[in-house]
Copies of this chain bind each other. A is one copy, B any other.
Amino acid sequence: MVMMTYREAVQRALDEEMGRDANVIFFGEDVGKAGGVFKVTPGLYEKYGPVRVRDTPISENAIIGAGVGAAVMGLRPVVELMFADFAAVTLDQIINQAAKFRYMSGGQLKVPLTIRAAQGGGAGFASQHSQCCETWFMHSPGLKVAVPSNPADVLGLLKSAIRDDNPVVFLEHKVQYAEKGEVPEGEHLVPFGVASVLRSGKDVTMVATQRMVAVALAAADELAKDGITCEVIDPRTLVPLDMETILNSVKKTGRLVTVEEAPHIGGWGAEVATRVTDAGIWYLEGPVVRVTLEGAIIPFSQPLEDHVIPNKGRVVSAVRHALTV
C-alpha cells in the first residue's frame, strides 16, 4: 500500500493508462501546460507531449464532440470538463451523441470516451460551480457513471473507465482532491458495478457516495453509541449499480437511508429507494429516507452552504426516522 491523495490518484491513473496504450489521449481547458485548474494532471503534457495532451479553447461542445469523434475512430480519449456543472453547456454531445451513438448505428460504432469532471459543494464556489450532476447522466442510457469516494477507487475506476468501450462520465468530488488514502501497489483496477461495504451493521442500511461516505460513516459512529448499527455501502458506480449488495443488506437490516449531495428531486437516492421498494418491499420495516441537498440551490455564504449540504446530524436524524416503527 502507498498513501496518495485523491488528486494524485487521478494523475496516476491517467499516467499509467497513457503509458500503457498509445491510443489514450487527453485534452481539456488548461489540463496540459498548466496541469489543470485543480492541479490534478501535472506532468502529463511534459511526459506525453503536445500531440496526445492538449489544451483547448473554452468550447465544451467542441471538446466533447472531438472526444466522440476520436473515440469512434478507435482512440481512447479522456476529456476534462473542469467543473461538472459545465456539462450543461454540452449535454447534447454527451447524452444525445456519445451515449446513443452505438445504439443509433445499430452497434456499428463504439465510443470509448471518458469524460472527467469535478463536482460537488463545500468549497464556497456558489450555485454554478458546486452541483452534483450524476442524475443527468444516470438518466441517459448508454453512459456509465463513476463516483469514486477515495483515492484507491479513483485509481481503479478511472483505469477501468479508460479501458471501457462505452462512454463513461467520471465524476470527481473537488473537495476531496486533497484527501489521502491507501492505494494498492502495482496495477489496481476496480470493476464497475461492484459496491463496497465499508461498515457492516444490522439495523439500517446506508447508501452514500463520494463526500457523503465519510458523513455516513461518522453518523454510523455516532449512532453506534446508542447501540444502533449501520451498514454503510458505497456503490462506487451509479451506472451500473450494484443492487444485489444493497438488496442483500436491506434484507438483513430492513431499513434504508440514502445519503447524497445532489438536489432532492430525482436524485440517485430516489432510484435506489424505488428499486428496493420494488424488489425488496417485503424486507422493509420502516420508511425509506433520503438525505439530500436541502433547498437544493447551493448558496455562497458559508453558514448557508454548510446548512444545505448533508451533515452528520441530518444523517443521524434520518436514521432515527427510518427506525420509526
Interfacial residues, chain A to chain B (CB-CB below 8 A): 61, 85-86, 88-89, 91-92, 95-96, 99-100, 103-104, 126-128, 135-136, 138-142, 239, 262-263, 265-271, 273-274, 277-279, 281, 284, 286-290, 295-297, 299
Contact = CB atoms under 8 A, between A and B. Distances in A.
Contacts of A289: 278
Contacts of A284: 277, 281
Contacts of A281: 284, 286-288
B141 A128 contact: no
Nearest to A140: B263
Nearest to A278: B287
B263 A141 contact: yes
A265 B139 contact: yes
A277 B273 contact: yes
A86 to B, nearest CB: 8
B270 A274 contact: yes
B265 A266 contact: no
Contacts of A126: 104
Given A104-B127, A136-B136, A287-B277, A141 B89 contact: no
Contacts of A271: 265-266, 270
A138 B265 contact: yes
A154 to B, nearest CB: 23
Given A86-B92, A103-B299, A104-B127, 8 more contacts: A89-B91, A89-B92, A96-B128, A103-B127, A138-B265, A270-B274, A274-B288, A278-B289
A96 B85 CA distance: 8
B266 A139 contact: yes
Contacts of A141: 263, 265, 295-297
